[in-house]
Amino acid sequence: MKKAIHLAALAAVTALFIVSCVPTRRWKASESALAAARADSARLAQQVVQHENTIGQLRQQIGDLNKKIDDLTNQSGLTQNQLNQSKEQIAEQRRRLAQLQALMDQQKRAIQDIRKKMSDALVGFNSKDLTVSIKNGKVYVSLSENLLFPSGSATVNPKGKEALGKLAEVLNTNPDITVDIEGHTDSVPIRGRYQDNWALSVARSTAIVRILTTDYQVDPIRVIASGHSQYDPVQTNSTPEGRALNRRTEIILSPKLDELYKLLESGPTPE
């Protein structure tokens, strides 16, 4: 009997133990699963934060890129405006250059025309006493002392006056020609009524001016007289031949350059 009771008690305890062990295992399993879920949730939360930070950085980069695009767009517009302005300036400069070239070509043709007219008018005179040439963009009519004046005098010879008359015909039919008359001497000191070669060279140029303006009615406004004495020789003064060439009067002719000067004075287009 006791043995039966003992067995019954042992069976009861065993049954109780078995019954109690099942909930404990389930609880531990549930606790483990909850811990794992919490760990996963924490990892997910951390990943969400990281992704949010990444998104924030990307948004900042996008904002910076948009700003750069705006800056480049504005800069491109500014550059395009500058390019357009430069193109306009280049076009204006080309227009002025073409206009200037046209005027210079016109002046060159006018100078050639003056030379031809003077050469034709003075064709009958000795080439040793009278030459017509172009120099520095002007027509030079060089008349020797032998043609125009007695030695040491400012009184024009009849042959010289004839030459001046033919020259005046061309001037009067071409009113746009300006006239510079320059007297030149050699280096031999003057003796007689003139103080020095300066006075003689000026007296000779003014004597020619008076003949042109008084006798042949050339407009005085067009004429300028000057004397250079011995200081602008064309040959050496150390030989008789050279001194003879230096004793001369040069009548320098040029077309009016009003249009050319006006264009030059207008200046370049401001940048």
DSSP code for 53: H
Q: Assess whether pLDDT exceeds 90 at residue 31.
A: no
Residue 17: its pLDDT value, please? 47
Give residue-wise pLDDT tens across range 145-198: 999 999 999 999 999 999 999 999 999 999 889 999 999 999 999 888 899 999
130 with 141: CB under 8 angstroms? yes
Report the C-alpha gap between 256 and 206 in whole angstroms: 22
Give the total number of structural domains in the chain: 1
Residue 74: its pLDDT value, please? 74
Residue 139's φ and ψ, nearest 5 degrees, are: -95, 125
260 with 103: CB under 8 angstroms? yes
Q: Is 64 exposed, middle or buried (0-12, 13-18, 19+ CB in 10 A)?
A: exposed
Q: Assess whether pLDDT exceeds 60 at residue 266.
A: yes
Q: Assess whether pLDDT exceeds 80 at residue 238.
A: yes
Residue 270: its pLDDT value, please? 45
Radius of gyration of the chain (CA): 56
Q: 34 falls in which pLDDT band (50, 70, 90)? A: low
Give residue-wise pLDDT tens across range 194-211: 999 999 999 999 999 999
Q: What predicted TM-score, i.e. pTM, was given to this entire model?
A: 0.64
Q: Assess whether pLDDT exceeds 80 at residue 142.
A: yes
Q: Among 10-24, 89-103, 117-131, 214-228, whose mean pLDDT is lowest?
A: 10-24
Give residue-wise pLDDT tens across range 89-101: 788 778 777 877 8
Q: 79 falls in which pLDDT band (50, 70, 90)? A: confident
Residue 149's φ and ψ, nearest 5 degrees, are: -135, 150
Q: Among 37-46, 49-58, 119-128, 246-255, whose mean pLDDT is lowest?
A: 37-46
209 with 237: CB under 8 angstroms? no
Q: Which domain holds residue 231?
A: 1-271
Angle formed by the axes of helices 2-121 and 158-173, nearest 10°: 140
* CATH number of the domain within which 198 lies: 3.30.1330.60
